């Protein structure tokens, strides 16, 4: 007997599964219904978010910021990275090799600096001090 495949399931191996694995727990523990979150991020109904949560569809890039903002425990950098890699891994890899896309370690360093240095205060003096510190590290 042939196995029936739901229309919501992808024919290729669950390429959206990494995103689903990342968002499912925080959504479930958010204290909000899937329908409420779906409306908050701009969906008319919850089906699109439900399918993304199951890995049946890839979350659209234009929903990343709103989802991370409305669901505690989701990091917008990590979510955006997962979504971008899933939608276009080849371009992601090229941009990463060119230094346009940073990894989680780079992001942690940048966030640490941003948390401590006011916007606009990164000047040549700061860069000299940072370089001196790193040379002595």
Inter-CA distances, 81 with 55, 101, 107, 119, Å: 16, 9, 11, 24
Query: Residue 4: is it exposed, middle or buried by C-beta count within 10 angstroms (0-12/13-18/19+)?
Result: exposed
pTM of the predicted model, to two decimals? 0.73
| Architecture field, domain 1-88 | Orthogonal Bundle (1.10)
* pLDDT tens-place string over residues 46-103: 999 999 999 999 999 999 999 999 999 999 999 999 999 999 999 999 998 998 888 8
Domain boundaries, the chain: 1-88, 102-137
């Amino acid at each position: 007997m042939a196995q029936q495949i739901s229309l919501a399931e992808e024919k290729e191996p669950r390429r959206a599964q990494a995103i689903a694995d990342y968002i499912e727990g925080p959504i479930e523990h958010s204290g909000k219904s899937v329908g409420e979150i779906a409306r908050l991020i701009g969906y008319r109904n919850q089906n699109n978010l439900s399918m993304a949560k199951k890995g049946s569809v890839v979350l659209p890039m234009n929903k990343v910021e709103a989802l991370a903002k409305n669901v505690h425990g989701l990091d917008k950098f990590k979510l955006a990275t997962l979504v971008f890699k899933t939608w276009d891994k080849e371009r992601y890899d090229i941009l990463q090799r060119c230094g346009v896309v940073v990894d989680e370690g780079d992001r942690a360093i940048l966030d640490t600096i941003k948390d401590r240095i006011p916007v606009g205060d990164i000047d040549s003096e700061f860069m000299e001090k940072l370089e001196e510190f790193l040379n002595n590290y």
